[in-house]
DNA sequence: ATTATACTCCAAAACGTTTTGGAAGTCAAG
DNA sequence: CTTGACTTCCAAAACGTTTTGGAGTATAAT
């Protein structure tokens, strides 16, 4: 059986209270007693019973994270990276991480209600914010602590971190225009995702600023998978007047585009420029290496987790809205280097 | 404030016990009373306090999963997929999932001790078993329920699921030999990983069976990243007598090899055959599509999670050792189709 | 010698459940 | 009218902590 405060108390010949206070570092226990207690605890291999602590303190020291998956064979490396960030930061603060994996929809909403209602976690992390995001409405309504990765179109005040996707796509587009490209296609993200709009806006803004037409036939949408990138890339390349450059809303789709181009015998970087977004590790070692808009995914994971924990502990006034600058990382897939 | 059994009891005019029993579905509460209680619970939005339940029942209904990461920018899609499997299966059984992310080493061991000692989880999932795996020794020693993905070289009896890597690599190698390849290189995994040995053994077995020499210069090792695949691939291709085929211990490295080959102007599938292992979704849509040894990662995640939950509930006699057959998926990267 | 001040300690309550071991009440059978 | 068997209910203990509000004792100040 696991050893409890009671066991230590009995062995040292002292009350449970005193053991608790000695271990808790309070100064109302004599130095000698404290030593005997610490020693006994060590010898007996005492570990506090987290569940009991949580119940009593009304604090679980746990953050929740519901990963919005897309089907069973879901394997976006993006999520591993952000999860690593979140997990490592949580560990640093001695917080645990409760994870759920649910595809967006009713079951996902239920998962949120479960986590909030059952009081298993002190706060939640929301990623990939959506238009009229019900998760956010719900959490704000419940007054439940959370931090989001991504802004919202709801008129609600909540803490978030985001990357300026408009700027990122503007820069990427401008870079291609500067290289002389006139027909630049864009594979956008599902329109219910907030970032889809920001990035699309950046693309359009750059075109317009340079007096280039925004052509509907060059704008398409994919579900952020490599497969969709491949499919949409193929479509674009078989257009009567195919684009000379393709930007994808994320790296995975950009990699799909590269496959599509290579299958057609095009040399990516020479015959066709390709740019992605995210800068997942895969991007650096693709062939050719992918030009992409870098966002510090791991750091963002750490950051939102840190902010949430601050919020929970209501420590120092948290910076509630963090906007990060993306950076265009130029590699070979865009040519011109 | 959250509503408790006490609140319902007061409102319905009945004891806490009765409320608990009504909600728990016991048959010692009158039908009328039960209805009034259920109704009140619904109206008041009652949600059981999981922590309190756990404390009382001495069961957390939570499984733990410590992801062995490799550095901050860790983003192996393999882990997202297995996590999705685990998470979805857990949800089906109304179990929660507590995740930690730790690089192998002292901190990882501590994470295990924390999870076990603090009694926050009812069982653990161990993946990527290692030689003389301390995690396994520890868990067996503690008598703590767990299920592993991967066998062990320890003389211990524990439940696991594994894929026959020897067979997988044997088949892959044989396939290349049948295509006429004589110089087949192999990029192995870090030797502390159990699967590294099984796969390597399969490679050697096939060579020997066919009377081909096992050449040290054609066997190398990478840390399972695309980067290492690229590096080792480059090295192999600049050998005086370069191989005509390269097998990598996982898909990510195989993708790195493809990059290395293409950079040298080799047409993968024609000038060089490449085969991976895992069959991550990325493999299907690379260019050219990657021939690889398929293992059902998502299903394995579900399976080990299901087995663990059975173990915890000590339901039906669990099948303790599951060995899955891998299947060679032939795509273009290996040529010959 | 009294009072004040530290210093150590602890009993008991509380967190929200589940479970045990009856206590009432009702009803049919003897 | 008793007895026994059901049915329906509940008080209290327990799970392992933390925290509150003192109690007791020794020491210092008056």
Q: Report angle CA A255, A261, A267 to the nearest 5 degrees.
A: 105
Q: What is the pLDDT of residues B188-245, one digit of tens each?
A: 999 999 999 999 999 999 999 999 999 999 999 999 999 999 999 999 999 999 999 9
**Has residue B262 been placed in a domain?**
yes
Tell me whether residues A75 and B80 touch, CB distance under 8 A: yes
Q: Which pLDDT value is given to residue B301?
A: 97
Residues A172 and A277 placed together within one structural domain of the fold: yes
- Better-predicted residue by pLDDT, A298 or B71: A298
What is the per-residue DSSP string for A166-189? HHHHHHHHHHHHHTT---EEEEE-
In this structure, what are the phi and psi dihedrals at residue A155, rounded to the nearest 5 degrees?
-90, 65
Tell me whether residues B285 and A259 touch, CB distance under 8 A: yes
Q: Which pLDDT value is given to residue A303?
A: 97
Q: Give the CATH number, domain containing residue B22.
A: 1.10.260.40
pLDDT above 90 coverage of chain B, percent: 92
**Has residue B12 been placed in a domain?**
yes
Which of A46, A80, A112 is most worth mutating to test chain B (most B CB atoms within 10 A of its CB)?
A: A80
Q: Which pLDDT value is given to residue A149?
A: 98
Distance of CA A40 to the CA centre of its chain: 44
Q: Give the CATH number, domain containing residue A93.
A: 3.40.50.2300
Query: Given a cut of 80, is residue B1 above it in pLDDT?
Result: no
pLDDT band at B316 (very low <50, low <70, confident <90, very high): confident
pLDDT band at B314 (very low <50, low <70, confident <90, very high): confident
pLDDT above 70 coverage of chain A, percent: 99
Among chain A residues, CA nearest to B282: A226
Residues B202 and B154 placed together within one structural domain of the fold: no
Distance (Å, whole) CA B73 – CA A150: 20
Residues B128 and B175 placed together within one structural domain of the fold: no
C-beta separation of A300 from A149 below 8 A:
yes
Can you give the residue range of the structural domain that contains B222?
A: 165-295+327-334
Residues B238 and B193 placed together within one structural domain of the fold: yes
Distance (Å, whole) CA B248 – CA A300: 32
**Has residue B155 been placed in a domain?**
yes
**Which nucleotide lies at the shortest CA–C1' distance from B4?**
C16
List the nucleotides on chain C closer than 7 A to a protein CB. Answer: 7-12, 14-20, 22
Q: Residue A97 CA to C20 C1' — how many Å? A: 36
Q: Judge whether residue B29 contacts strand D, using its CB and a 7 Å cut-off.
A: yes
Candidate from B55, B80, B256 with C-beta closest to A76: B80
Residues A304 and A159 placed together within one structural domain of the fold: yes
Residues A87 and A154 placed together within one structural domain of the fold: yes
Q: Which pLDDT value is given to residue A337?
A: 60
Distance (Å, whole) CA A296 – CA B145: 37
Q: Judge whether residue A137 contacts strand D, using its CB and a 7 Å cut-off.
A: no
**Has residue A318 been placed in a domain?**
yes
Strand D: which residues 141-180 of A lie within 7 A (CB)?
none
C-beta separation of A223 from A248 below 8 A:
no
Query: Given a cut of 90, is residue B287 above it in pLDDT?
Result: no
Distance (Å, whole) CA B37 – CA B41: 6
- Compute chain A's Rg from CA coordinates: 25
Q: Which residues contact A26 (CB under 8 A, 6 or more apart)?
A: none
Residues B136 and B91 placed together within one structural domain of the fold: yes
Residues A180 and A113 placed together within one structural domain of the fold: no
Q: What is the pLDDT of residues B163-196, one digit of tens each?
A: 999 999 999 999 999 999 999 999 999 999 999 9
**Has residue B56 been placed in a domain?**
no
pLDDT band at B337 (very low <50, low <70, confident <90, very high): low
- Number of separate domains in chain A: 3
**Has residue A119 been placed in a domain?**
yes
Candidate from A77, A107, A287 with C-beta closest to B262: A287
C-beta separation of B187 from B261 below 8 A:
no
Helix (H, G, I), strand (E, B) or coil at A320: coil
Tell me whether residues B54 and A50 touch, CB distance under 8 A: no
What are the C-alpha distances in Å from A201 to residues A196, A210, A296? 9, 14, 21
Query: Given a cut of 90, is residue B318 above it in pLDDT?
Result: no
**Has residue A53 been placed in a domain?**
no
Q: What is the pLDDT of residues A195-232, one digit of tens each?
A: 999 999 999 999 999 999 999 999 999 999 999 999 99
Query: Which residue from A181, A50, A199, A298 is spatially nearest to B74, judged by alpha carbons?
Result: A298
Q: Residue B52 CA to C11 C1' — how many Å? A: 24
**Which nucleotide lies at the shortest CA–C1' distance from B53?**
C17
**Which portions of chain A are predicted below pLDDT 70?**
336-337
Helix (H, G, I), strand (E, B) or coil at A307: helix
Residues A200 and A144 placed together within one structural domain of the fold: no
Q: Which pLDDT value is given to residue B330?
A: 97
- Ramachandran quadrant class, B14 (left: phi over 0; alpha: psi -120 to 50; beta: rest): beta
Residues B118 and B179 placed together within one structural domain of the fold: no
Residues B281 and B316 placed together within one structural domain of the fold: no
Residues B230 and B265 placed together within one structural domain of the fold: yes
Tokens of B238: 């600049």
**Has residue B102 been placed in a domain?**
yes
């Amino acid at each position: 059986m696991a050893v409890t405060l009671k066991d230590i108390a009995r062995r040292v010949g002292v009350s449970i209270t005193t053991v608790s206070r000695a271990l808790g570092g309070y100064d109302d226990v004599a130095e000698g007693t404290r030593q005997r207690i610490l020693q006994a605890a060590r010898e007996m291999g005492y570990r506090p019973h987290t569940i009991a602590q949580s119940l009593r303190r009304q604090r679980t020291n746990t953050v929740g994270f519901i990963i919005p998956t897309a089907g069973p064979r879901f394997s976006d490396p993006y999520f591993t990276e952000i999860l690593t960030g979140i997990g490592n930061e949580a560990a640093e603060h001695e917080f645990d991480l409760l994870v759920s994996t649910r595809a967006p929809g009713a079951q996902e909403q239920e998962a949120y209600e479960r986590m909030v209602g059952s009081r298993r976690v002190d706060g939640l992390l929301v990623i990939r914010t959506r238009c009229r995001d019900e998760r956010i409405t719900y959490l704000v309504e419940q007054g439940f602590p959370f931090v989001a990765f991504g802004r919202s179109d709801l008129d609600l005040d909540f803490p978030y971190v985001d990357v300026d996707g408009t700027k990122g796509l503007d820069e990427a587009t401008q870079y291609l225009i500067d290289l002389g490209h006139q027909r630049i296609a864009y594979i956008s993200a599902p329109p219910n995702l907030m970032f889809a709009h920001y990035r699309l806006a950046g693309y359009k803004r750059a075109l317009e600023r340079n007096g280039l037409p925004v052509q509907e036939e060059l704008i398409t949408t994919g579900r952020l998978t490599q497969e969709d990138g491949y499919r949409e890339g193929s479509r674009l390349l078989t257009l009567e007047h195919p684009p000379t450059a393709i930007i994808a809303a994320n790296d995975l789709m950009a990699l799909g585009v590269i496959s599509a181009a290579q299958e057609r015998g095009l040399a990516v970087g020479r015959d066709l420029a390709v740019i992605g977004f995210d800068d997942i590790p895969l991007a650096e070692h693709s062939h050719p290496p992918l030009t992409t808009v870098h966002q510090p995914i791991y750091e963002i994971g750490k950051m939102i987790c840190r902010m949430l924990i601050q919020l929970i502990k209501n420590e120092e006034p948290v910076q509630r809205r963090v906007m990060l600058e993306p950076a265009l990382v130029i590699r070979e897939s865009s040519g011109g280097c």
